[in-house]
Every structure is written in structure tokens, then in C-alpha cells.
């Protein structure tokens, strides 16, 4: 087994929260992994990200990695999508490698700050794309990503911080869903890890589920127990 040299994490603000890391100068769950295992950490989480961005940029970045890297992915709500961001350079995801600027930006359906064209796009998409279809698309993306990581012997763990979809959703029994459901390195989409944190001190934003430093430490302990890839 190769010696682990770095941890790569990706997600939305549940993984990289500017309130915790930049404003409060506190630790996030990946920082506790760094403290315990003494390896480098790359945090590619971007607040507001949709799953397509999280998966796509992970695949892009992992082209440079080998079995000395461990990947942790945090998934988010299906009800986020992407639009062209060429005129929004401030939101380009270029922190890791400026030569690989993102040409899309993630948008949330319920975000009142969206422009009218974006709101119209989201409204139109929601009329023709069902939640089941969005879930199917996520399964396909995950199969492609995990297959690539396995081909390079890169260990990974993928979890849902909050509900990815309506907890009552009945997914299509596709080969993609079965493959992901049976994958021991992926937690259930209907059992979010943040729901196991019952202490209010773990959250500074209970409505949206954002963690305090204490919450990040408790999330680290959960992940550290579940992953078992550092042994």
C-alpha cells in the first residue's frame, strides 16, 4: 500500500466555509485530518457548488494524482445547477491551478440574487427535468468518477452532508444506482451525516446545516471512523 501523502477534499460550503476558515480563522474537518495524519490537504470546496461542479473538478484535479492521494467528496442538493460564468470571473474556480479556470458557476434555485435570465433558465429546467432524472444523472457521474479513481488506485470516500434529494424519492433501479448503492465507499443518500450531529453547538446555522468548528471536529470523527483507508 502506497504511503498517503495528501488528502484532497471537494464539496460546497459544508466543506469549505468562508465563515469558519476565513472570518473566524477556525478549523474545518479536513484540517483535523491533517492534524492527526500529518499529510498535506487540498480543499477544493467552493460555497454554493452543485454536484456537477464538485465531480467535474475532482476528476480534473485527480488527473494529476496517484495512489498517494486520498479523496473525500461531499455531495450537495440536486436542486443546484450551472450557468455560464465567463462574465463572472470572480467566481472562476482557479485557486488550485489558474490555467484551469472554470467556465461555469453554480446557482441555487432558491437564490433571490439570481438574474432574471438565470431564474428563467432554472424555472424552465424544473418543468422538463424531474428529480428522478437529476438523481440518475448524479449516479452516472459518480460511476464515471469512481471508476476512474479505482483505475488509478486512488482511495476515496463520498458522503452526503444533507439530503441530496427528497428523502421520499424512489430512484430508478438502474445499473448505475445499484453500482453506487453497493459501493462501501459511498454513504446512503438518504442518511445524511450531518443529521447524526444532534448537539446544537455543532451548528451556527441550523436552517442550512453549516457547522461550527466543534461541528467540523465531530464530522471529522464520523468520517475518520467510516473511511478506514489510512490503516
Using pLDDT thresholds of 50, 70 and 90, give the confidence band for residue 184: very high
Q: Given a cut of 80, is residue 118 above it in pLDDT? A: no
Q: For the chain, how many structural domains are there in total?
A: 1
d(CA 73, CA 12): 10
Residue 194's nearest CA partner among 165, 159, 157 is 159
Q: Coil, strand or helix: which one is 156?
A: strand
Q: Is the pTM of this model over 0.75?
A: yes
CA–CA separation, 55 vs 42, rounded Å?
A: 15
Q: What is the CATH number of the domain that holds 111?
A: 3.40.50.1110
Q: For residue 44, give the nearest of 63, 35, 57 by alpha carbon.
A: 57
**What is the C-alpha separation between 70 and 58, in angstroms, rounded?**
12
Residue 127 maps to a domain: yes
The tens digit of pLDDT for each residue in 33-68 reads 999 999 999 999 988 899 999 999 999 999 999 999
Condensed to tens digits (0 to 9), the pLDDT of residues 145-162 reads: 999 999 999 999 999 999
Q: Which domain holds residue 163?
A: 6-227
Is 133 part of a structural domain of the chain? yes
**Is 1 inside a domain boundary?**
no
The answer to whether residue 197 sits within a structural domain is yes
pLDDT band per the 50, 70, 90 thresholds, residue 86: low
C-alpha cell at 202: 455543532
Amino acid at each position: 500500500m502506497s504511503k498517503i501523502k495528501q488528502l484532497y477534499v471537494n464539496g460546497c460550503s459544508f466543506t469549505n466555509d468562508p465563515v469558519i476558515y476565513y472570518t473566524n480563522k477556525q478549523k474545518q474537518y479536513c484540517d483535523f485530518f491533517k492534524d492527526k495524519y500529518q499529510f498535506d490537504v487540498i480543499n477544493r470546496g467552493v460555497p454554493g457548488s452543485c454536484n456537477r461542479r464538485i465531480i467535474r473538478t475532482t476528476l480534473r484535479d485527480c488527473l494529476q494524482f496517484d495512489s498517494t492521494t486520498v479523496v473525500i467528496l461531499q455531495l450537495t442538493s440536486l436542486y443546484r445547477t450551472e450557468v455560464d460564468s465567463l462574465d463572472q470571473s470572480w467566481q472562476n474556480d482557479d485557486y488550485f491551478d489558474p490555467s484551469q479556470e472554470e467556465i461555469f458557476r453554480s446557482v441555487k434555485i432558491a437564490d433571490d440574487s439570481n438574474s432574471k435570465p438565470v431564474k428563467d433558465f432554472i424555472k424552465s429546467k424544473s418543468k422538463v427535468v424531474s428529480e428522478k432524472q437529476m438523481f440518475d444523472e448524479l449516479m452516472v457521474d459518480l460511476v464515471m468518477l469512481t471508476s476512474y479513481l479505482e483505475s488509478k488506485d486512488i482511495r476515496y470516500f463520498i458522503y452526503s452532508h444533507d439530503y441530496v434529494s427528497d428523502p421520499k424519492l424512489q430512484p430508478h433501479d438502474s445499473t448505475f444506482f445499484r453500482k453506487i448503492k453497493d459501493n462501501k465507499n459511498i454513504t446512503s443518500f438518504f442518511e445524511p451525516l450531518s443529521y447524526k450531529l444532534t448537539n446544537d453547538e455543532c451548528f451556527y446555522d441550523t436552517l442550512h446545516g453549516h457547522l461550527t468548528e466543534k461541528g467540523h471536529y465531530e464530522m471529522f470523527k464520523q468520517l475518520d471512523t467510516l473511511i478506514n483507508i489510512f490503516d
